[in-house]
A and B are shown apart, each in its own frame.
Chain A
């Protein structure tokens, strides 16, 4: 497998070690006022981006964590995307 994935805990590793967990779609929606259509969209509909997409991976043969990466689906290469929120989160996490 040509793909490599950078696990936040274990670093850059061979794609064989990971399991794909789908596109990033945000947290589970609230059950209140949720229509079946909206729910179905959340579970089953994908954007299938031809380009950079944010997605989940599981380090099954490693640390066992779920994490997100950005990957260019046309080249299968990871992309570094500066995520300001991520930095913020890390900061606030540090203060806790």
Chain B
């Protein structure tokens, strides 16, 4: 392990604290503060992985995760961006996209096969003859793709989400972002500051140049960070990338958790009144032959390896740069002990004279108007060729490090994603903000600024503009801040060179997708003249780096190659997420939420087997017998109890309550009489039946009604929607959760209930389809209905949820002598099916109307004034012969019941099975099916097709409904 600098004030590593990790099965050590990438580099790893197409060796390049070069498998998670991931003790790291190892990849020969893989080769090569493609495809698929994942892979880790409201959201924790945040905070506003690196400081943080009055930039960054952290109304999120910006000032991002956090990654959604975009610049890659060989690095990468992680990025270096930062870095690294053979500066002139003088003082050769043309070395850099820009003169230097960068490029994604526009600026060579999105302001290097004081002044201005959006700042203040900025140095002239004078066969414009300059030329020659088209045809910028490497170079090069004027240089579109984000981060926490009924605990004790049904968890069975024979027979012979608390329960009252009921229920609701239960249904505007339930009248203009369990959530919305124009006066109260329901059914139900209530329960006093209100034990207010859903004598008791357990226990005690037992949802399903009572969603689907399921008798057609929802459509459907009809059927020759959803066929599909079961009560298999009209006659033979039955069919016969107790004497007794 190499020695590290440990005296630099800029260091972010603690060299005294060692962290162990496993790489390729062997133990290595990094130090606290290392990223996975810097720890590997410290251990001599130069080749981190292999590229997508050509399996070229790849290594450190940007240090900010702008390309897939350093994507690795960490602790079993593929495609981890190692430059952005902090090392943890015990991490297991593997290289990916290699056959063999990154050092010796058996697929490395593909690099020589590039002639076989021109731009868009998968569209137009290996298709002739057609036979070749399936074979070729298999090989390509095997070789392509970054990282491996199995289909049943489960993402480890903890994920979280937060939703924030703030006045100002600042994207970027560099000098301009921090200044903007401070400025807005000092105006009394709440500020959220997002910084993608694990610390604040940005462009100042790793530099030792003088800021002002002997203070270094690094010291200034620390000073600003301290001020920011001391400000109570600034909430700082470090290691947090903003990945999306939308209108209405919505910003999304994700935060990487520290060890002490309860999350590994956290989704953040921020609603702000104003947004400041201050994401700064990244470097624009310099393109020359083998410009991505391990050993070629950007300026920031080389400099920060030394200043942040305390590692010398190489032993002997050649610089090929186009920005003053390159000169600054050369000086700093030289002082730290790096041997520099030569600095080739793309710019003929315009360098910072102070820096040039210092370079001359140190006797470092500086060649202006020169550029690197080729990195030599089979796997890592061994030497470099540089030449004058015209390619006439060249030199070669042995070296192990090439610091290469064509210039800077602003990170404008946050502006364009929010529909802001950019304009190419000839002075800087940048795409600068043109039209900013409403209430978004740009600050710092995004504006092309480079001078430290200008950068901060632009932050102040943006902070004030944001405060203005929050009505906390005057126009005058903004005017003053603008003037202050204008008096400081403006944007510096930038270099516009994209490529060295090379042919470009091995000059990579996009590392992730292995796209070369030659590929771009091929695409243009094929007629793809726009960057947006070339991007797709060559896949340039479509990799994990999200266009960070080729985003700026592609439009510049395309314009140059086609000799287009500046005005036509347009950037390609970027889209969120601007930084690769885990799907699991978007998914957030899985809360596994469901509702439980008041009887949940009791039923669990009684051995209930629970299933999630809609929003509820309900007891489906009370034994391991999924046919529920015992539960069913006990209801038919004795008495059973069912928890029906999931039913939707509503009270509607007020002067216009009846009008509202008339609007949504198909029946004539004026006929609802006190003391009687009215069964009815609701349709949608297409006449399709969506809900059924019972209505009772509790008093004048006061009704209580039930809906099916699944519809409870939408009922208020539905009734309010269909009465929204009428201005009717009624109140609608959802009682679903406050009332529980017990269904007491079976021939002995009366005998059980008699023991706990005081009222007369004889058939004459409380008959079928009647409704009563009374108190159990003088205390428990009870609504009771005599219904017959399961086809037996049955009482439905609606009691307050808090009393449910008491009533349940009383009934169980009272029912002991009659062998009372629980029955679950499945038993109820069979019982009601034998009676041909339908369950919507089971005997109906989306297109099934009221008439199809045989509920036409509910519909009152003489209430046109009520404008009943669905009535018009029903009238139209009435004579439609093509609709499916619900029929009952029994199976021939004692065969078993078909599965629910099986098809009724002849030479085509003619219908389907809704519910069918082997009935214990009837001793045969029966069921209901929705079939075409001509199959609905009694006696028709139904041919039933089940999944995977091949040519075998089973047969049923249409019979009269219901199957059980057709006269209904049992439920009315």
Residues of A within 8 A of B (CB): 1-4, 14, 19, 21, 26-28, 30-32, 34, 36, 39, 43, 56, 58, 60, 64-66, 75-77
Contact = CB atoms under 8 A, between A and B. Distances in A.
A65 B867 CA distance: 21
Contact of B717 (A26, A28, A64): A64
17 contacts: A2-B246, A3-B248, A4-B271, A26-B725, A28-B722, A30-B867, A31-B872, A34-B872, A36-B872, A36-B876, A56-B724, A58-B717, A58-B720, A64-B717, A66-B721, A66-B724, A76-B248
Contact of A31 (B722, B724, B864): B864
Interface in B839-886: 864, 867, 871-873, 876
Given A31-B871, A31-B872, A43-B685, A77 B248 contact: yes
A69 to B, nearest CB: 13
B264 interface: no
A71 B419 CA distance: 18
Give the residue among B248, B419, B717, B873 with the most A Cβ atoms within 10 A.
B248
Nearest to A64: B716
A2 B872 contact: no
Nearest to A16: B163
Contact of A66 (B720, B864, B871): B720
Contacts of A77: 247-248
B250 interface: yes
Nearest to B866: A31
Contact of B247 (A2, A14, A26): A2
Contacts of A65: 720
B572 to A, nearest CB: 22
A31 B867 contact: yes
B686 interface: yes
A84 to B, nearest CB: 19
Contacts of B725: 26-28
Interface in B706-735: 716-717, 720-722, 724-726
A11 to B, nearest CB: 13
Nearest to B252: A2
B273 to A, nearest CB: 11
Contacts of A2: 246-248, 250
A59 to B, nearest CB: 10
Given A31-B864, A58-B717, A58-B721, A39 B248 contact: no
A63 to B, nearest CB: 11
Given A28-B725, A31-B872, A58-B717, 13 more contacts: A4-B248, A19-B717, A21-B721, A27-B725, A28-B722, A32-B864, A60-B717, A65-B720, A66-B717, A66-B721, A75-B247, A75-B419, A76-B247
What 6 A-B pairs are tightest by C-beta distance, nearest first? A2-B246, A27-B725, A2-B250, A31-B864, A66-B724, A43-B685
Contacts of A3: 248
A57 to B, nearest CB: 11
B84 to A, nearest CB: 26
A83 to B, nearest CB: 15
A78 B742 CA distance: 48
A43 B686 contact: yes
A60 to B, nearest CB: 6
B247 A28 contact: no
B265 to A, nearest CB: 21
Contacts of B250: 1-2
A1 B721 CA distance: 23
Nearest to A67: B724
B55 to A, nearest CB: 42
Contacts of A34: 872
Contacts of B271: 4, 14
Contacts of A43: 685-686
A44 B725 CA distance: 18
A28 B248 contact: no
Nearest to A59: B717
A3 to B, nearest CB: 7
A80 to B, nearest CB: 14
Contacts of B720: 58, 64-66
A14 B272 CA distance: 12
Contacts of B721: 21, 56, 58, 66
Nearest to A36: B876
Contacts of B247: 2, 75-77
Contacts of A4: 248, 271
B715 to A, nearest CB: 11
A28 B867 contact: yes
Contacts of B248: 2-4, 76-77
Contacts of B724: 56, 66
Interface string B687-722: 000000000000000000000000000001100111
Contacts of A27: 725-726
A96 B211 CA distance: 71
Contacts of B163: 14
Contacts of B871: 31
A2 B249 CA distance: 8
Nearest to A29: B867
A67 B725 CA distance: 10
A33 B759 CA distance: 52
A16 to B, nearest CB: 9
Nearest to A39: B872
A34 B871 CA distance: 12
A51 B271 CA distance: 24
Nearest to B244: A2
Nearest to A38: B872
